[in-house]
Amino acid sequence: MSLDKATVRRIATLARLDVPDSDLEPLANELSSIMGWIEQLQEVDTTSVAPMTGGTDMKLVWRVDEVTDGGKPDDVLANATDSQGAFFTVPKVVE
């Protein structure tokens, strides 16, 4: 599987990673080489195999849907670069 520059550009946008144009080519080569190595999985017969979706055979447990924590706006905001009142700030998104 070979990734071209356009594909790297597209996944970088999906991943919200700013990638300068000069890095697209080397990244495409690196990722292509990793994906090429991964390609060997296609030779495994997985017909009627159920996917393993977690690290354990345990069933997830149910619990009562109730509030067990909260009311700590100061703790929540303590590590923000910028906040106003009880809010995080971000660049303006609505004109």
Partner 1 sequence: MSLTSFTIAEARTKLRAKEFSAVELTEAYLAAMEQGAGLNAFITTTPEIARERAKAADARLKSGSTAALEGIPLGIKDLFCTEGVLTTAASHILDGFKPRYESTVTAKLRDAGSVMLGKLNLDEFAMGSATITSFYGPTKNPWKARNSNADLVPGGSSGGSAASVAGGLALGATGTDTGGSIRQPAAFAGIVGVKPTYGRCSRWGVVAFASSLDQAGPMTRTVRDSAIMLGVMCGHDPKDSTSANRAVPDFEAALARGVKGLRIGIPKEYRPDGLNAEVSALWDQGMQWLKDAGATPVEISLPHTKYALPTYYIVAPAEASSNLARYDGVRFGLRVPGQSLDEMYSKTRAAGFGAEVKRRVLIGTYVLSAGYYDAYYLKAQKVRALIAKDFDDAFEKVDAILTPTAPSAAFAIGERMDDPVAMYLNDVFTVPASLAGIPGASVPAGLTSTGLPLGLQVLTKRWDEETMFAVCQVLEDAAQFKRLV
Residues in touch with partner 1 (CB under 8 A): 3, 7-8, 11-19, 27, 30-31, 33-35, 37-38, 40-42, 44, 46, 49-58, 60-61, 63, 72, 75-76, 78-82, 88, 90-91, 93
Tokens 């700590």 label which residue? 72
What is the smallest separation between the CB atom of 53 and partner 1, expressed in angstroms? 6
Q: What is the DSSP letter of 40?
A: G
CB of 25 to partner 1, least distance (A): 14
Cβ nearer to partner 1, comparing 22 with 42: 42
Closest to 5 measured CA to CA, from 86, 84, 19, 36 = 19
**Comparison of 18 and 65: residue with beta carbon closer to partner 1:** 18
- Considering the complex, what minimum distance in angstroms separates the CB of residue 67 from partner 1? 14
**Which of 1, 64, 62 lies closest to 29 in space, CA to CA?**
1
Sign, CA dihedral 73-76-82-87, equals negative
